[in-house]
Amino acid sequence: MDVRRCSRCLYTEHHPLGIHLDDDWLCSGCRVHEEKDQLDWAQREQKLTDILNQYKNRNGNNYDCIIPVNGARDSFFIVHTVKHKLGMNPLLVTYNAQYNTDRGIRNLALLRTVFDCDIFTLTVSPHTIKTLTRATLRRLGSLYWHVLAGQTVFPVQVAVRLKIPLIIWGAHQGIDQVGMYSHLDEVEMTRRYRKEHDLMGLEAEDLISDDDQIFEKDIYQFMYPDSHDLANVGVRGIYLNNYLRWDTKQQHENMLDLYHYETADQQRTFDRYNDVDSFVYSDLHDYIKTLKWGYGKITDHVNREIRLKRLTREQGMHLVQTYENKPVGQLDAFLAWLGTTKNSLNFMLDQHRHPDIWQRDENWNWFKQQTIIEPPSHLIERQRLAASEYCEFELTASKRPDYQEQRYVLLAKGWPS
């Protein structure tokens, strides 16, 4: 399959969220990203303040809003902004992804402590999680389905249960990566987007199966509340990146100065800030992404920094070559956790390799057969952004340097060695 590459970033037309190139071969993601330097962000922030004011609980008998958090990503920035800058009283909710690093658990404990917010945590039975993960690996080639499903639905369930209508999310990937919407569309959370993109088309109910031994009791924690209940409470989810100029690297650096949480080297990317709470995200999960889509998270991170003028296209290409073929670091730990073998896992994953990208040679080894058409050089020069900042991700010292990050840690369940 021949695909064209963007004249500014390194995305091709082949992207899970959908991307298109214009006459200059500039992709929709790069085009919408230009809004970050064009919009009046003071005015956008005022709009956010106006929305939040409608949800402030004047009686003091309930929370003002819900913020989904975990031990990484933009959690510190979001809670800091909503609580300290915008004066809201949030309830934090967290879905235990169970692929936790020791560091991620410490970061989440620090977040609970420094912001002094109430927090709801959902830890689904590890046995159920393993059953679901076996099924989603087989059906979708995904070990991350339960995390995506849990993270996107637990806050909504809590909103309905506690009658807190407003949920505040960070960045909407459809806007930030591929320009599916303009910031001005002010797109909000929907069940449909969750199903189609976060859950790869498979909702919890679709997993019920005698063959997999999955019954309703195993999946109700992942089911979306019904529309009648949502309407009764008036639940809505807004994304902060529609109202604040989103720059995750800068945001992290500001928050690291204030709260001193831990960053870490990652196996398959240079980004030391995002996803340091997970054993699998920048590891086996990312490797699987390359089987399905032909590229890994390193390309997402490089493109983000090219658009924010911290990397040139050429530096980005070099980083992709450096990281994309790095081996999976935590494979044995994952296989031990799931109770399977490397051969069984590979057999399942091979079913999900994209047939336009991967083929077997005569020795039955896989090779990449996708042809990427690079843009004409005059278009690259026309769309080039000058990199004006140094792209370095700060590495903090571990607060527990003697601990070896070799094992899955199941928060609230201990480690049954």
Check: CB of residue 129 under 8 Å from CB of residue 149: no
Would you say 34 or 203 has its CB closer to Zn ion?
Answer: 34
Q: Toward Zn ion, which CB reaches closer, 6 or 168?
A: 6
Which one, of 248, 237, 276, 236, lies nearest residue 81 by Cα? 248
Least Å distance, CB 200 to Zn ion, is 23
Least gap, CB of 29 to Zn ion (angstroms): 5
Angle at alpha carbon of residue 256, lines to 70 and 409, rounded to 5°: 35
d(CA 11, CA 372): 10
Q: Is the CB of 3 or the CB of 51 nearer to Zn ion?
A: 3
Q: Which residues touch 102 (CB under 8 Å, ≥6 apart)?
A: 400, 403, 405, 409
Residue 27 CB, nearest approach to Zn ion (Å):
3
Residue ranges that bind Zn ion, judged by CB under 5 A: 6, 8-9, 27, 30
- Strand ranges (DSSP E) for 46-196? 65-68, 90-95, 119-122, 166-169
Write down the least CB distance from residue 97 to Zn ion, Å.
30
Pairing assessment for the beta strands 366-368 and 358-360 based on DSSP bridges: antiparallel
Closest CB to Zn ion among residues 24, 74: 24
Q: Which is nearer to Zn ion, 141 or 179 (CB)?
A: 179
**What is the distance, to the nearest Å, from the Cα of residue 188 to the centroid of all Cα atoms in its chain?**
17
Q: Considering beta carbons, is residue 374 or 392 the nearer one to Zn ion? A: 374
Measured from the CB atom, the residue of 6 and 380 that comes closer to Zn ion is 6
Per DSSP, 409 falls in state: B
Alpha-carbon gap, residue 166 to 244, rounded angstroms: 17
* Smallest distance from Zn ion to CB 91, Å: 37
Complex with Zn ion: residue 104 or 316, whichever CB lies closer: 316
Report the distance separating Cα 193 and Cα 181, nearest Å. 12
Four-point Cα dihedral 60, 62, 64, 68, nearest 10 = 150
Q: Provide DSSP, 172-240.
A: -HHHHTT-SS-GGG-----HHHIIIIISTT--GGGG-BTTTTB-HHHHGGGPPPPHHHHHHHT-EEEEG
**Nearest one of 170, 191, 76, 68 to 121, comparing CA atoms:** 68
CB atoms within 10 A of CB 62: 11
Nearest approach, Cβ of residue 310 and Zn ion (Å): 15
Provide, rounded to whole angstroms, the least separation between the CB of residue 12 and Zn ion.
10
Residue 242 C-beta: closest distance to Zn ion, Å: 20
Distance between CA atoms of residues 303 and 30, nearest Å: 9
CA distances from 357 to 1, 291, 309, 371 (A): 7, 8, 30, 9
Minimum CB–partner distance for residue 24 and Zn ion (Å): 10
Residue closer to Zn ion (CB basis): 27 or 410:
27
